[in-house]
Amino acid sequence: MSENLLIEPAYLIAAVLFILGIRDLSSAETARRGNLLASIGMFLAIVGTLLHADIIGYQWIIVGMIIGSIVGAVMAIFMPMTAMPERIAIVNGLGGAASFLVGISEYYRQSAEFFLNHQFKMGVVGFEVLLGGLTFTGSMIAFFKLKGLISGTPVTYQGQNAVNIAWLVLMLAIIGYLIIVPTTPVLFYVMMVMAVMFGVMFVLPIGGADMPVVIAMLNAYSGLAAAATGFVLSNNVLIIAGALDGSSGFFLSILMCRAMNRSIGNVLFGAVGQSVAAPGISGGGDDGQPQSISVTEAAGMLLGAQSVIIVPGYGMAAAGAHFAVRELADLLKSRGTSVKYAIHPVAGRMPGHMNVLLADANVPYDELVEMDDVNPEFPETDVALVMGANDICNPVARDSAGTPIDGMPIIDADKAKSVIVIKRSMSPGFAGIPNKLFVAPNTYMLFGDGKLMAEQLAETLNL
Amino acid sequence: MNTFAISTVVLAVEAGAEQTAEPQSLLAAFYIFVLASFLGYQLIIRVPPLLHTPLMSGTNAISGISLVGSLVAAGADFPLVCNILGFIAVVCSMCNVVGGFMITDRMLKMFKAASPHDKAKK
Amino acid sequence: MKVSIPKEILADEHRVAATPKTVAKMVKAGISVVVESGAGLESCITDEEFHQAGAEIAVNVESLLNEADVVLKVQPPGLNESTGTHELDMFQKGATLIGVLQPLINHDLVTKLAERRITAFSLDCLPRIARAQAMDVLSSMSTLAGYKSVLLAANALRSVLPMLTTAAGTLYPAQTLIIGAGVAGLQAVATAKRLGSVVKVFDVRPVVKEQVESLGAEFIDMDVDQQQAEDAGGYAKEQSVDVQQKAHELIGQHIKQADIVITTALIPGKKAPILINEEMVQTMKIGSVIVDLAAEQGGNCELSEPGKQIIQHGVTLIGLVNLPSSLAVHGSLMYANNLANFLLHVYDDQQIAVNLEDEITRQTIITHQGEVLHSGVQEVLGLGKTAETS
């Protein structure tokens, strides 16, 4: 029994470390330390659990931990910078699967009378399975969408939101029923299957570009599932970590939506009843959906680039981002990256618009290159950074006929090895047509205010 | 300061809770849940877009705490079915934990490696 | 096909319709180019430079025009004092003329063009589509006018534009009010800002607010419904009486503190609106300057006189016209480029192709084979024919 005396302090310290870890993750200078603290906390929680009196057989545990560690490490090591959300999606799904399985295990082993006497536990087991199941399949769908194995286009049908809500209500009703009458295992297994299906149903109608927000939400759900497990097992560290995870995931997804200038309702439920895919633009990406990345990933791409060409447009002017852009360019240059600006003859809303602003920001004239001189350089350029430009780099003008911009020469940004587009949203430019560049396979959209994004990229590069 | 006040309360409640007395610990557990949720809100509400991805990855790793439940299911004196389910759960959540923390670390390490100091030496 | 570029005969016109670069471009396309001797001198281009680029130099203007298939001009054809003949009379019948002809105003010219069976294209009638941007002379010349207007104002002002805090006292920045945020207006904003002035802009179209603010100037909000303010091409429309009233009030309010006022308000084909009346000028500070870029079309200021710089009520009123001409080097560069781009667009295998299916051709063609084709001009001349123009 002396072991139990060690467990509670271990859990306590673990919880403290989680809290400190998340706090540190919120600031650029201490982020790495935060991750380390959280991992130490996890280690303590594991050790503490292993000392738990209930555990008597270690063979399953040891084998399981070894296999899990190897797979986890492999996934982490062999992962390209731009596939971060995908990896996070998978591991999140696995976390949900774990809660799901533990919930089933609990239900299976306890008799009906036990649950009659511990109705709260029944409820919590139900939630554990519900949340765990939907997180598992939801995350897998998110992964497939991000990887392009499933079309990123929202899959919608009439009345879908109503069906989803009804489905959810039904599952909750089953849990409610089981709390009162725990002697109907059939219902439990039915709900289990429903939960797994619900994950799919919930994520399918959300566009591929919004997957990062979905993952943050699912992260929150897997946290809640862990908290539920904590209630079932009367384990405090599970409750604390799960609640921390749940609420931070939830609010993080709201923050991410705000940064994209949309409400969370719009992201999760908005595609129903609308056609989101751009008509008439085929090819490009796997299905016409833009790939969105975060500041972190964009900074990573810029860090790895030997040559960057910045393509400024009216958006940069409207955002007043030219000073931040120059700072970003200076940082890149100080690392040996070559930086040029591709100035389209009609960029902006007046002749010389870009020149005025860039001169104001003290960008040397010799870094400004006109369209015909800079276009041949794009195929050898690592990253084309499109700052609020739209029509002037829309390949549709070059490759298709019959559009308002037909015949207008453009900046061949799409020919660069990778393209990062900084823009507030997917709204069209002056010509009012969708931009094929935004859905190209080597293009990554960084949604946000131009000035803010440029400043944050600069800050990241400065770390 | 707010954050620390709350953290202290949470931990105080937890320290005071006993593991086995049911109704009392249930209420305490509920308190812990609510306070921890509020704490989570306070911690991340001011996160800049810059750090969204590492934060997501980090908290994702923390949700691997489900490992704790899996360990119990896999190692306790339960029917074989439970042990097997627990085993699978352990594999899954171990992936979550190890993978999650390593991915986050890689993300953050990337910036350190390419600091101006190092590049200037090239 | 022979393209000729005569020297401009209008006294204050220093530009020329081609540059060595555009000559080379035309020659490369298989066109033979002839330039009148001395045509480029006021744009700092010598006969020798034109010749090096592949042009023939002609001394006799009559034979130059007579032998031309296509004539490129800056100003509309007029009476050549030295030969006593109208330029058009020296043209071959059926030749092509490309330039800025202002056909809605120059009725006699249009009639004469039809009589001489000239195929005339006027670039001020270009449609505002993406493809035509490289030919847009109005935009090019407005850019130069907007820039120059600020320099003229700064020169006439007896104070500096930026703020300077010195041991000899603090010089406060000049307040500039720009009316009309089109191409000229925006360029004026940029130039005034660069010189250090505080800039405010007034325009009836709410959509330009963002553009103005992107250049660091303040936009004077009018609360006008967007639909009323702008036509399909993005130009400002004539406004209803109460909108005009409100505009008057707002301008009157801000003009009192202005050191520099630059007005750029034009309505295509019509007289320019009067935005500043005598009363308002009397409320202005002594020594302040108004540059009226619409002087030639009637003026936005009641008191400005086209072609002149005068002082009334202590305010300097600059109504100088043809500002792009004073910036002849770049004026010619831009104009020649616009012209050459247009020429190469309608050029097809040693001929000028008159393809009325092409929007650009259709909108810019004024006369062809003796008939007036431009619908706007037809209306104005009361010819009542229906054509396929929009």
The residue among A245 and C382 whose pLDDT is bigger is A245
* Residues C83, C121 share a domain: yes
- Cα–Cα distance, C355 to C362 (Å, whole number): 7
Parallel, antiparallel, or unpaired: how do β-strands C260-263 and C289-292 relate? parallel
- The reported pLDDT for the residue numbered B50 is 65
For residue C365, list its beta bridge partners: C121
- Other C-beta atoms closer than 10 Å to the C-beta of A173 total 12
User: pTM of the predicted model, to two decimals?
Assistant: 0.71
Banded pLDDT at A300 (limits 50, 70, 90): confident
Same domain, C343 and C240: no
Structure-model confidence comparison of residues C98 and A144, the more confident one = C98
With respect to residue C386, please indicate whether it lies within any of the assigned structural domains. Answer: no
Residue A343 has pLDDT above 80, yes or no: yes
Task: For residues C37 and C99, state if they share a domain.
Answer: yes
Band of pLDDT at residue C232, cut at 50, 70 and 90: low
Tell me which of A163-167, B51-55, C124-128, C210-214 is least confident: B51-55
C175 and C313 in a single domain? The answer is: yes
Q: What is the pLDDT of residue A209?
A: 66
- The helices-and-strands tally (H runs, E runs) of chain A is 18, 6
Mark which of C296, C321, C346 sits at the end of a domain.
C321
Q: A435 near A285, Cβ under 8 Å?
A: no
**3-class SS at A368?**
strand
Same domain as C266, residue C175: yes
Summarize the confidence of residues C337-364 as an average pLDDT. 91
Q: What stretches of A234-344 show up as alpha helix (H) in DSSP? A: 236-259, 264-269, 295-303, 314-319, 322-334
Chain A residue numbers touching B43 (CB-CB < 8 A): 19, 22-23, 26, 244, 248
Please give the ipTM for the structure prediction.
Answer: 0.78
Q: Residues of C with CB below 8 A from A397's CB?
A: 130
Among A52-61, A418-427, C56-65, which stretch is predicted with the lowest mean pLDDT? A52-61
Nearest to A318 among C134, C140, C210 (CB): C210
Same domain, C176 and C246: yes
- Select the more confidently predicted residue: B68 or C132: C132
In sequence order, the β-bridge partners of residue A100 are none
Among A21, A65, A230, the residue with its CB nearest the CB of B94 is A65
Residue among A349, A387, A435 with most chain C CBs within 10 A, to mutate: A349
C215 with A320: Cβ contact below 8 A: no
Compute the CA torsion angle A109, A110, A111, A116 (nearest 10 deg). Answer: -160
Structure tokens at A137: 């399949």
Crossing angle of helices B80-113 and A84-109, rounded to 10°: 160
Tell which phi-psi region holds residue A54, choosing left (phi > 0), alpha (psi between -120 and 50) or beta: alpha
Which DSSP string do the residues of C56-99 spell out, in sequence order?
A: EEES-HHHHHHT-SEEE-SSPP-EETTTTEEHHHHSPTT-EEEE
Percent of chain C scoring above 70 in pLDDT: 94
Say yes or no: C347 and C272 in one domain: no
Q: What CATH code is carried by the domain that includes residue C120?
A: 3.40.50.720
Same domain for C107 and C20? yes
Please check whether residues C105 and C253 belong to one and the same domain.
no
* pLDDT band, residue A276 (cuts 50/70/90): very low
pLDDT at B121 over 50: no
Q: How far is CA A292 from CA A85, A289, A304, A310, A427, in A?
A: 10, 9, 19, 19, 15
Return the active site residues of A: 391
Does C387 reside within a domain?
Answer: no
Q: Is residue C390 situated within a structural domain?
A: no
* Residue C141 belongs to some domain of the structure: no
Residue C15 pLDDT exceeds 90: yes
Counted domains in chain C: 2
C103 within a domain of the structure (yes/no): yes
pLDDT digits (tens, 9 = 90+) for C218-231: 999 877 665 566 66
Cβ contacts of C187 on chain A, cutoff 8 Å: 350-352
Torsions phi, psi for A55 (to 5 deg): -85, 120
pLDDT tens digits for C251-305?
999 999 999 999 999 887 788 999 999 999 999 999 999 999 999 889 999 999 9
Q: Is residue C388 part of a domain?
A: no
Q: Which residue has the higher pLDDT, C80 or C42?
A: C42
Average pLDDT for A238-255 = 86
- pLDDT computed for residue A144 by the predictor: 86
Residues of chain A with a CB closer than 8 angstroms to some CB in chain C: 314, 317-318, 320, 345-346, 348-353, 356-357, 359-360, 391, 397, 404-408, 431
Specify whether C114 is located in the same domain as C70: yes
Q: Which of B3, B56, B122 sits opposite A88 (nearest CB)?
A: B56
Please say whether the dihedral angle defined by the alpha carbons of residues C272, C275, C277 and C283, taken in this order, is positive or negative.
negative
Residue A86 has pLDDT above 90, yes or no: no
Which residues of chain C are within 8 Å of residue A393 when distances are taken between CB atoms? none
Query: Percent of chain C scored above 90 by pLDDT?
Result: 66
C139: chain A residues, CB-CB within 8 Å = 351
A235 versus A314: the higher-pLDDT residue is: A314
Assigned domain for C389 exists: no
B56–A219 C-beta distance less than 8 A: yes
- Rounded distance, CA C268 to CA C181, Å? 15
> In whole numbers, what is the pLDDT of chain A averaged over residues?
83
Range from A196-205, B107-116, C28-37 carrying the lowest mean pLDDT = B107-116
Of A314, A351, A359, Cβ closest to residue C139: A351
Q: Is residue C7 located within the same domain as residue C119?
A: yes
Say whether A198 sits in a helix, a strand or coil: helix
Looking at residue C225, its pLDDT comes to 63
Confidence of residue A4 (pLDDT cuts 50, 70, 90): low
A320: left (phi over 0), alpha (psi -120 to 50) or beta: left
Domain-ending residue, one of C277, C294, C321: C321
Last residue of a domain, one of C321, C348, C371: C321
**Which structural domain range is residue C333 located in?**
2-135+328-381
> Do C360 and C257 belong together in one domain?
no
Minimal CA separation from A35 to chain B, in Å: 6
Provide the pLDDT confidence category of residue A341 given band limits of 50, 70 and 90. Answer: very high
For residue A449, the model assigns a pLDDT of 87
Tell me whether residue C356 is in a domain.
Answer: yes
Interface contact A230, partner B, CB < 8 A: yes
A344 CA: distance to closest CA in chain C (Å): 12
